[in-house]
Amino acid sequence: MFRDKKVVVVMPAYNAARTVRKTYEELMDQGVVDRVIVVDDASQDETVAVAGTLPGVRVHVHAANRGYGANQKTCYRLALEEGADIIIMVHPDYQYTPKLVPAMTAIIGNELYPCVLGSRILGGYALRGGMPLWKYVANRFLTLAGNLLMSAKLSEYHTGYRAFSRPLLESLPIDVNSDDFVFDNQMLAQILWSGHTIAEISCPTKYFPEASSINLRRSITYGFGCLATALTYRLVRMGVISSRLFPPRKNDTNGSARG
């Protein structure tokens, strides 16, 4: 709890049996989390069994693998059902340190910003933390393209460490987003489309065998998806096309958004 606001952490899990307990224990040491929800996307290991032994954790299981985006949709739906005022996504693979949860909670809880990202780029942690050079280069290129096309100034769009206020999460049309990895990018684009500012804090990360990662083929698919999202944003803003991702805002003309 933070200033009478309920804090719920969601963990989209897939084959995280070896790291979910460590992530949970460090998370609960921070002293602000009221509820943890683990959504397992049909893992092939003992993720569900391990998560089920963690005190106070709600475990939800997808009967079949539905994808990272679909996992998040379930996470956020369950968090809102739990009455969350502040929702934080922490990957259970221990790549992102849960020690930043109090800071992210305070930013949301004090109504400074409705969204906070844990950035691997700020502070230069990405390469030092073991991010492969090709992923770093792709991250920088896609972030530059996204910033140019969406008139933003984020250090990166591709972190999986995110916090949201309840009103913001309820306002986003995330059900129309992809069920795959590009969901992350689409969600941030929708937040920018709605006129909100996204805050970022520097986040050290770790790359190790147990940490989740997508392969080169899926990374390429994700990269093209990010470019398509940013280009769609720009074209809708210009009034050239319409898209369910970016519905008309109040006071918009010709279906395009200002800002």
CATH of the domain at 24: 3.90.550.10
Residue 2 lies in a domain: no
Compute and round to an integer the Cα radius of gyration of the chain.
18
Position 178 in a domain: yes
Q: Considering the domain boundaries, does residue 249 fall inside one?
A: no
Q: Virtual CA dihedral for 60, 65, 67, 71, nearest 10 degrees?
A: 0
User: What is the reported pLDDT for 251?
Assistant: 65
- What pLDDT, on the 0 to 100 scale, is given for residue 258? 34
Residue 141: inside a domain, yes or no? yes
Alpha carbon of 146 to those of 31, 118, 197: distances in Å?
36, 18, 15
What is the pLDDT at residue 130? 82
In a domain, 1, yes or no: no
CA atoms of 232 and 186, how far apart (whole Å): 10
Q: Is residue 251 part of a domain?
A: no
Q: Which residues pair with 199 in a beta bridge?
A: 116
pLDDT digits (tens, 9 = 90+) for 142-168: 999 999 999 999 999 999 999 999 999
For residue 243, being part of any structural domain is answered with no
Report pLDDT for 131: 85
Can you tell me the distance from the alpha carbon of 234 to that of 229, in angstroms, rounded to the nearest whole number? 9
* 32 DSSP 8-state letter: -
- The number of folded domains in the chain is 1
| Residue range of the domain that includes 55 | 7-237
pTM (2 decimals)? 0.92
- Closest alpha carbon to 180 in 38, 37, 14: 14
Whether residue 35 is contained in a domain is answered as yes
The reported pLDDT for the residue numbered 213 is 61
Low-confidence ranges of the chain (pLDDT < 50): 254-259
* Predicted pLDDT of residue 255: 40
Strands 115-119 and 162-165: antiparallel
Output the pLDDT for position 89: 98
